[in-house]
Structure 1
Amino acid sequence: MINSTVVEELGRLPEGTESEYHTHAAGLAVRLTAAQIVELEQLLASDIDRDVRFNALYVVLARHRRTLDASHYGRIYRAHASKFEDYPMRAVLDSDMALLNPAGPDLAEALRHARTALERMPGNRAITAHYARMLAEFAWNGGDVEREELEKAIHQLDRAIEVEPERPRFRAVRSQLSGLLGDYAAALAAIRRAIDLENSEQPDYAVRIIEYQRIQADVMVRRDLAGVHERLDRAMTQAEDRMREKISGATVEAEQRMNAEIGRLRSETLGSLGLLAAVIAFIVTTVQVANRQPVDDAMRMLVGIAGTLVLVFTAFGATFGIARGARLVLPGALGAALLIGAILL
Structure 2
Amino acid sequence: MMRKIIHIDMDCFYAAIEQRDDPDLANMPVAVGGSPDGRGVVSTCNYAARRFGVHSAMPAAQARRLCPELIFVKTNMVKYKAESTKIREIFHRYTELVEPLSLDEAYLDVTDSPHCHGSATWIAQSICKDIADETRLTASAGVATTKFLAKVASDWNKPNGIKVVLPEEQMSFIDQLPVKKLYGVGKVMTAKLESMDIFDCKELRQVELNVLIKKFGKTGKYLYDLCRGVDKRQVKPRSDRKSLSVETTFSENLSEWQDCENTLHRLISNLSRRLGKTDKIEKIRKVYVKVKSEKFEIHSAESISIGLDIPLLVRLLKRLREQYPEPIRLMGIGVRFPQTPPKDQYQQIDIPF
TMscore range, shorter length: under 0.3
Larger proportion of strand: 2
Larger proportion of helix: 1
- What is the TM-score when the length of structure 1 is the normalising length? 0.22
Q: If you compute each CA radius of gyration, which structure gives the higher value, 1 or 2?
A: 1
Greater relative contact order structure (CA < 8 Å, 6+ sep)? 2
